């Protein structure tokens, strides 16, 4: 991992001198850094939309019998759009398209991605997909099917109108985008590493993106198949999932979760990569147990493909299936435990500086463990019978995503914003952002455990009055999280108006990967002369 | 409404017998969600009792794991702060601890998995019931077909907010609850007439999807006479939150009296088992069932 560069002239670049026009630079970009910036920008926009929808939902749920959302169909459309936007247009673009594009080529000493035009295409497919998912929300009655798209509710009989087709095609577009991106990452990482950068010297973030890309490559086509069958059922009279025509609604659930469970790890593995870098940098220590970390990710990726039906414990699958999928799911806790303990061991004996990225990383580790613990609870088919689809589940997956993946995105943002923009964030405001976010999201999602235990189902715009108390607390937490986002916008404003010039390696001795040997901001082209790693 | 006569007469009977419409049966034993509740509902069935027990077992183990990680993090944060520990160590491997943190979690998982598998088998054993109720989910109501009682098949709608009587629970009370004998094993044959629904009874530990074209089995045994609630727990359209489940358990003699009464009510009113849903516009349909 720790690598010495003996030869680098990456900073010198004749092309940087002539400025491409705005349209040429941003609409036709083939540069991995510019495309990374575009991805991050798109993720911020999607985050504002998806986060705005969650504010709307928490406002509606603040009191029972509330009328902010006018009817159940509108509510279902909001729930659907929130879920899809947060997964496909916030977490994935930020972690994979954004940080992945920016730092994978730099970390392996490559001048760019293997297929720059494909890279550009991936991004614009994503934008088109986002337009489609928004159309699915606003056109007609909206697509109120839940992000899991279970038929028969998705059939034309029960969701008439074009909005559900928009939602389904938006997944095709996002899927193509991810698939092309995955191919690009695999080709880049396997073929374009600088001399001396063997697989076992690759930084953990690169490993994380590589495993993620393989998960995408294998999972997305299954989603595409399932979505295509739904579109056929809706528009062309087939009955893959319609019992009336001999189809099976449960088949869709199998196909969806064969994609959907790896998707969970697609969202969290890049986060693992970022956390490893941040923890190592701010502890001023190399990562503890590098091989364990790498192969834990590979193991998680593999196990992610053989546990899908734990999302279907109440779909009438057999006893033996339930036992198998439960045990296989529990096994994932072992490699995940290896990651968590290795992060702590990396910190152990370190000289830790608690700058904002490190705060988010430590917050990530703790909250991910909380979410993982409730995951172990839910993995028990016998308990899932009680907790399936209720607010305990909502709490669980927001702990690993909203508090896990999103914390890692913020950790990555604060860690790399100096390298990307050339300006440092203001430390005080960064820390304020961390603490308001930390308190806000915990206040939002912890009471949901209680609501779930008491039996509150998900996707309800109105609920029995007994659930009012914890819902009120949860809404308060959500509004605090909303305010924390404003702090984040102020941080971005300060970054982009800052005049302070940064050193190449502004984090000092702990930051050892290749992106820290190029200037801040990283020049338009890096490593045109191949660096050699010893 | 098809069952208005039956509803009025049952209501009258209940009022005469007990005086309070909602808490009528079984000395007012009601298991419904409580404000600021922080744990599972009071168990209404042996299954829920076992779930409750096992849930506590797993959660305490997990609390131990989270607590252990929190302690480690707190120690590391305090002890290896840059102010206290100026020179970082360079240790990157330790085979013993790496083996330990792989093996110990695996052992903990075995401790969880063993009783968990027993619980799965217990929950799946719906054989030899006293009676079978076929539960059909519809947009947006439930239909209960008593397989052992000829012609006893009725629908169950949520009481709309503006028609609530004193003692009824908003969003949980229904016009015709499922009535079953207490202390007997009841098998549910769960299916759907249209989209997926979720037959979810938190205080009994029962949950299965209602899937069109399939019958999914589950079972319960209500320990005490009383009133129990559940809700639809799989997104099913505009009124997903407005199709709750209410189950009343009666002592056997009262149950048999109820069956006779119900049969008489239904004699001239053979139910249309799955009312053919002519597809009106979504919102129209929704209003019709509100």
pLDDT, tens only, A421-459? 999 999 999 999 999 999 999 999 999 999 999 999 999
Closest alpha carbon within chain A to B88:
A350
Q: Cβ of A117: how many Cβ atoms within 10 Å?
A: 12
What pLDDT, on a 0 to 100 scale, did the predictor assign at position A8? Answer: 44
ipTM value, please give it: 0.92
What would the pLDDT profile of B262-287 be if each residue is shown by its tens digit? 987 765 444 454 444 444 455 555 55
What pLDDT, on a 0 to 100 scale, did the predictor assign at position B265? Answer: 77
pTM of the predicted protein model? 0.91
Q: Decide: A501 and A419 in contact? Cβ < 8 Å.
A: no
What pLDDT, on a 0 to 100 scale, did the predictor assign at position A11? Answer: 44
User: Any bridge partners for residue A382, and if so which?
Assistant: none
Could you list the active site residues of A?
82, 112, 147, 177-178, 261, 263, 265, 276, 310-311, 336, 339, 458
Instruction: Say if strands B153-156 and B178-181 run parallel, antiparallel, or are unpaired.
Output: unpaired
CA distance B259 to A240: 42
**Residue A534 binned pLDDT confidence (cut-offs 50, 70, 90):** confident
Buried-state track B208-220, b at ≥16 Cβ within 10 A, e below 16:
bbbbbbbebbbbb
A383–B116: do the CB atoms touch at under 8 Å?
Answer: yes
B111 vs A contacts (CB less than 8 Å)? none
What would the pLDDT profile of A5-45 be if each residue is shown by its tens digit? 444 444 444 444 567 888 889 999 999 999 999 999 999 99
B197 pLDDT above the threshold of 70: yes
| Chain B contact probe: residue of A358, A385, A460 with most B CBs at under 10 A | A385
A467–B33: do the CB atoms touch at under 8 Å?
Answer: yes
Q: Decide: B221 and B206 in contact? Cβ < 8 Å.
A: no
Tell me the average pLDDT across B54-67: 96
What pLDDT, on a 0 to 100 scale, did the predictor assign at position B21? Answer: 39
Q: Is A322 on the interface with B (CB under 8 A)?
A: yes
CA distance B259 to B248: 13
B200–A334: do the CB atoms touch at under 8 Å?
Answer: no
What would the pLDDT profile of A158-193 be if each residue is shown by its tens digit? 999 899 999 999 999 999 999 999 999 999 999 999
Instruction: Identify how many contiguous H helices and E strands chain B contains and give both numbers.
Output: 5, 11
Tell me the average pLDDT across A459-481: 96
Q: Is the peptide bond before A95 cis (omega within 30 degrees of 0)?
A: no
Question: What domains appear along chain B, each with residue ranges and CATH number?
Answer: 1-39 (no CATH), 41-125 (1.10.287.90), 131-270 (2.60.40.420)
User: Any bridge partners for residue B137, and if so which?
Assistant: B142, B192
**Which of A337, A350, A365 faces B88 most closely, judged by CB atoms?**
A350
What pLDDT, on a 0 to 100 scale, did the predictor assign at position B286? Answer: 56
**Which of B85, B93, B122 faces A289 most closely, judged by CB atoms?**
B93
What pLDDT, on a 0 to 100 scale, did the predictor assign at position A533? Answer: 82
What would the pLDDT profile of A93-144 be if each residue is shown by its tens digit? 999 999 999 999 999 999 999 999 999 999 999 999 999 999 999 999 999 9
Closest alpha carbon within chain B to A473:
B36
Helix axes A163-191, A116-138, angle to 10 degrees: 160
Closest CA to A265 of A407, A41, A150, A95: A95
What would the pLDDT profile of B111-128 be if each residue is shown by its tens digit? 999 999 999 999 999 999
Closest CA to B202 of B179, B223, B177, B233: B233
List all residues of chain A from 105 to 144 with a beta carbon under 8 Å from chain B: 141, 144
DSSP per residue, A393-440: HHHHHHHHIIIIIHHHHHHHHHHHHHHHHSSPPPHHHHHHHHHHHHHH
Q: Decide: B98 and A292 in contact? Cβ < 8 Å.
A: yes
**Which of B91, B109, B233 faces A349 most closely, judged by CB atoms?**
B91
Q: Decide: A393 and A458 in contact? Cβ < 8 Å.
A: yes
What pLDDT, on a 0 to 100 scale, did the predictor assign at position B149? Answer: 87
């Amino acid at each position: 991992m720790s690598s010495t560069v003996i030869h680098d002239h990456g900073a010198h670049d004749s092309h940087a001198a002539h400025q491409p026009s705005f349209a040429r630079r941003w609409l036709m970009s083939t540069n991995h850094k510019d495309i990374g910036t575009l991805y991050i920008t798109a993720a911020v926009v999607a985050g504002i939309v998806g986060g705005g929808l969650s504010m709307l939902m928490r406002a509606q749920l603040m009191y029972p019998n509330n009328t902010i959302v006018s009817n159940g169909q509108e509510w279902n459309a909001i729930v659907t759009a929130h879920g899809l936007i947060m997964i496909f247009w916030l977490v994935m673009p930020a972690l994979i398209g954004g940080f992945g594009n920016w730092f994978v080529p730099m970390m392996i000493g490559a001048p760019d991605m293997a297929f720059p035009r494909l890279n550009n295409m991936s991004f614009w497919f994503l934008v088109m997909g986002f337009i489609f998912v928004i159309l699915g929300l606003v056109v007609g009655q909206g697509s109120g099917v839940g992000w899991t798209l279970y038929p028969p509710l998705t059939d034309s009989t029960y969701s008439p109108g074009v909005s559900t087709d928009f939602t389904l095609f938006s997944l095709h577009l996002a899927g193509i985008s991810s698939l092309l991106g995955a191919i690009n990452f695999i080709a880049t990482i396997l073929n374009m590493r600088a001399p001396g950068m063997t697989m076992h010297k690759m930084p953990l973030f690169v490993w994380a993106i590589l495993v993620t890309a393989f998960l995408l490559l294998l999972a997305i086509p299954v989603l595409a198949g399932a979505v295509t069958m739904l579109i056929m059922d809706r528009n062309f009279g087939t009955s893959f999932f319609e019992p009336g025509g001999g189809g099976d609604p449960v088949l869709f659930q199998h196909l969806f979760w064969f994609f959907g469970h790896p998707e969970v790890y697609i969202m969290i593995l890049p986060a693992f990569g970022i956390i490893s870098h941040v923890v190592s940098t701010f502890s001023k220590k190399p990562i503890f147990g590098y091989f364990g970390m790498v192969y834990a990710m590979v193991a998680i990726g593999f196990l992610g493909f053989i546990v899908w039906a734990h999302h279907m414990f109440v779909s009438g699958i057999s006893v033996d299936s339930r036992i198998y999928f439960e045990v296989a799911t529990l096994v994932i806790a072992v490699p995940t435990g290896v990651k968590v303990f290795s992060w702590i061991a990396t910190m152990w004996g370190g000289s830790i500086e608690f700058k904002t990225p490190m705060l988010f990383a430590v917050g990530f580790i703790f909250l991910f463990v909380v979410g993982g613990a409730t995951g172990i609870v839910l993995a028990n088919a016998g308990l899932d019978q009680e907790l399936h689809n209720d607010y305990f589940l909502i709490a669980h997956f927001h702990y690993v995503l909203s508090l896990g993946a999103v914390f890692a995105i913020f950790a990555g943002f604060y860690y790399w914003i100096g390298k990307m923009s050339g300006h440092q964030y203001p430390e005080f405001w960064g820390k304020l952002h961390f603490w308001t976010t930390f308190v806000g999201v915990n206040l939002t999602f912890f009471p949901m455990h209680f609501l779930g235990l008491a039996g509150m189902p998900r996707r309800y715009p109105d609920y029995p009055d007994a659930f009012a108390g914890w819902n009120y607390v949860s809404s308060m937490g959500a509004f605090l999280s909303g305010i924390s986002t404003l702090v984040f916008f102020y941080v971005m404003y300060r970054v982009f108006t800052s005049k302070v010039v940064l050193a190449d390696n502004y984090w000092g001795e702990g930051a050892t990967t290749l992106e820290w040997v190029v200037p801040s901001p990283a020049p338009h082209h890096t490593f045109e002369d191949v660096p050699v790693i010893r | 409404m098809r069952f208005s006569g039956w509803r009025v007469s049952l209501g009258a009977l209940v009022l005469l017998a007990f005086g309070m419409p909602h808490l009528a049966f079984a000395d007012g034993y009601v298991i419904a969600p409580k404000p600021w509740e922080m744990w599972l509902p009071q168990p209404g069935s042996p299954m829920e009792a076992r779930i409750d027990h096992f849930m506590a077992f797993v959660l305490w183990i997990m609390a131990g794991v989270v607590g252990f990680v929190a302690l480690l993090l707190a120690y590391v944060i305090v002890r290896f702060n840059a102010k206290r520990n100026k020179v970082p160590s360079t240790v990157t491997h330790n085979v013993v601890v790496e083996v330990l943190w792989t093996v110990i979690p695996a052992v903990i998982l075995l401790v969880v998995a063993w009783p968990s598998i027993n619980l799965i088998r217990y929950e799946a054993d719906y054989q030899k019931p006293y009676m079978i109720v076929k539960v059909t989910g519809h947009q947006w109501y439930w239909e209960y077909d008593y397989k052992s009682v000829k012609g006893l098949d009725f629908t169950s709608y949520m009481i709309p907010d503006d028609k609530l009587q004193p003692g009824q629970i908003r969003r949980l009370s229904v016009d015709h609850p499922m009535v079953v004998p207490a202390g007997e094993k009841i098998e549910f044959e769960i299916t759907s007439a249209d989209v997926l629904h979720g037959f979810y009874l938190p205080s009994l530990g029962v949950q299965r999807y209602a899937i069109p074209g399939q019958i999914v089995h589950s079972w319960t045994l209500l320990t005490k006479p009383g009133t129990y609630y559940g809700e639809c727990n799989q997104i099913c359209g505009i009124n997903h939150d407005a199709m709750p489940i209410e189950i009343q358990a009666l002592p056997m003699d009262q149950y048999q009296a109820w069956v006779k009464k119900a049969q008489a009510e239904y004699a001239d009113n053979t139910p249309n088992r799955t009312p053919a849903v002519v597809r009106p516009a979504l919102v129209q349909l929704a209003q019709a069932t509100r």
